[in-house]
Amino acid sequence: MKKFALSAMIAAMTIAGTASAKVTEQDILNDQATTNDVVTNGMGHRGQRFSPLDKIDTDTVKDLRPVWSFSFGGEKQRGQESQPLVKDGVMFVTGSYSRLFAIDARTGDELWQYDARLPDGIMPCCDVINRGAALYDDLVIFATLDAKLVALDQKTGKVKWKKKVADYKEGYSISAAPMVVKGKVITGVSGGEFGIVGKVEAYDAKTGKIQWSRPTVEGHMGYVWKDGKKTENGISGGEAGKTWPGDLWKSGGAATWLGGTYDAETDLMFFGTGNPAPWNSHLRPGDNLFSSSRLAIDPDDGKIVWHFQTTPHDGWDYDGVNELISFDYKEGGKTVKAAATADRNGFFYVLNRENGDFIRGFPFVDKITWATGLDEKTGRPIYAADGRPGDPRKSADGKKGEAVVAIPSFLGGKNWMPMAYSQETELFYVPSNEWAMDIWNEPTAYKKGAAYLGAGFTIRPTNDEYIGVLRAIDPKTGEEKWRYKNYAPLWGGVLATKGNLVFTGNPEGYLMAFDAKTGEMKYKFNTGSGIVGSPITWEQDGEQFISVVSGWGGAVPLWGGEVAKRVKHLNQGGSVWTFKLPKEDEK
């Protein structure tokens, strides 16, 4: 339900009404280049999370200081994985339990708050988080844990339209930030641990009317809607059961739970898909398309233009949802239109974003046990002998297959937390983790709305001194230029700037800034709770600001095993911190 204070409503109309302008398609396309706002998740549809601002640099960052902090309030703390948006002096930021706040970006005063009325029985796998919103026209649009899209008036927070994307009783939820492409709001879905069928869908951003639907498990039909009529748009790239045995494709998982990126040059959206269901891979021989893959999707009709599967026949829950970031580089005097992703399976991939061809791949974590490498031509993994957890049907009691030690753990060499690409250094800055798991398979069967794993596991660190590693990686060579080791796992996003800085946060609560070329830490500030959100920067009234959401939670304390014990003392929270340099007369 919406909660308003009269003063907040008046403030909203006064502040937002004086300078507010509608967010256009051009605003969205130009987001990375413009510095006075942040209107997309990823600070640009490509998701590079790079800003051309440089007033805060390696020399001045030492003087960075907080100017306001806003509390999400109440008892609804838990993980805060959001990235704020800023438009015309107003910040829009989501919080746990599907809440959205409008804040005066100059003062930190609340303008309005919207609380989704969540039903009993929602089934989010990995905490009650929300990763952000989208702006379009006079709307702010976000998704809820009961699998709905909600469009609110930017000035008042009043609901303009609401759309059910999927049935939460079947295990669906949505935690990702939607994006707007060509006037359509595009969303994926969560729920891969419940035997749902992943999909990407497009809705008219102004009205909420569905435009097309694209399932991401081979065999399921896609549709488009024109003039109110639903027509088939072909199955999702393959025949039913072709890479799936029997009827398992009907509950095949492949959830698109992180959302996507978009490249205007190729006019393609890039979505990653999650694990095939169930985890027990002996029940579903074959590659199990399009699970654990990157998909290039036509935004006009949802057609899958190309796909690249990072972990065919995934048996470790490595997923393939991590963001695919478009970038260009020179090679042999020619410009290569590339895209890069750091996968949960421990390999970093560089693809041709026009056709999905494999360019190169290399490990970005210190140890990988499930595969010995990648095929040089195709990028397909070369599976390690005895690296897959055993078939329980071959065990003495039929209840537990042979366990294996797998590195990385299923939480991944890199999980959801977005990396950044610097156009200055031409390096990727990758938040990663070093951990192992014991994993084994168990019998299972699909039941609507119930967990559908067929596996057990325990997770442990591979080092006593650290788990998290922030890495600077050259995508052209695979060389690691520098690293920063962190005791707790890294679970927050990264921001790179022209000021030769890289910002990120850690579960210990610190916002940190590093020299982008050397990795030297130049700044740190403790926000009072763990940072698992993504920092942003923008310019306002001639000054550069940095903002980040603080609030410990997410998957690690829920699924982390021995790792969770290492961080159990960390306090939950829920707040936004905003920083800037002091003015000359304030120094």
Could you give the residue numbers annotated as active site?
317
Q: What is the residue type of 111?
A: L
The identity of residue 581, as a single letter, is L
Quick check: helix, strand or coil at residue 15?
helix
Q: Please name which of 514, 435, 527 lies closest in space to residue 481, comparing C-alpha atoms.
A: 514
> Quick one: which of 363, 365, 504 has its CA closest to 429?
504
The answer to whether the CB of 311 falls within 8 A of the CB of 399 is no
Starting at the edge strand that comes first in sequence, how are the strands of the sheet with 435-441 ordered?
404-406, 435-441, 455-461
Residues 399, 392 contacting (CB under 8 angstroms): yes
CB environment 97-125: b (16+ within 10 A), e (fewer): bbbbbbbbbbebbbbbbbbbebeeebbbb
Residue with tokens 């569905």: 210
Instruction: Classify residue 320 by its DSSP letter.
Output: S
User: What residues contact residue 2 under an 8 Å CB cut-off, 6+ apart?
Assistant: 112, 113, 114, 115, 157, 158, 159
Rounded-to-integer distance, Cα 394 and Cα 401, Å: 7
Listing DSSP states for 251-319 in one string gives G-B---TT-EEEETTTTEEEEE---BSSS-GGGS-S--TTTTEEEEE-TTT--EEEEEESSTT-SS---
For the residues of 111-142, what is the DSSP string, one character each?
A: EEEEE--PPTT---SS-S-----EEEBTEEEE
DSSP state of 249: G
Query: What's the rounded Cα separation, in Å, for the pair 345 and 342?
Result: 8
Between CA 144 and CA 116 the distance in angstroms is 7
Return the amino acid letter for 149: L
Residue 574's SS3 state is: coil
Give the full edge-to-edge strand order of the sheet including 334-342.
Answer: 325-331, 334-342, 347-352, 358-363
Burial class (CB in 10 A: 0-12, 13-18, 19+), 232: exposed
User: Alpha-carbon distance 361 to 18, whole Å?
Assistant: 50
| Four-point Cα dihedral 548, 552, 558, 562, nearest 10 | 110
Residue ranges in 21-90 assigned as alpha helix (H): 25-29
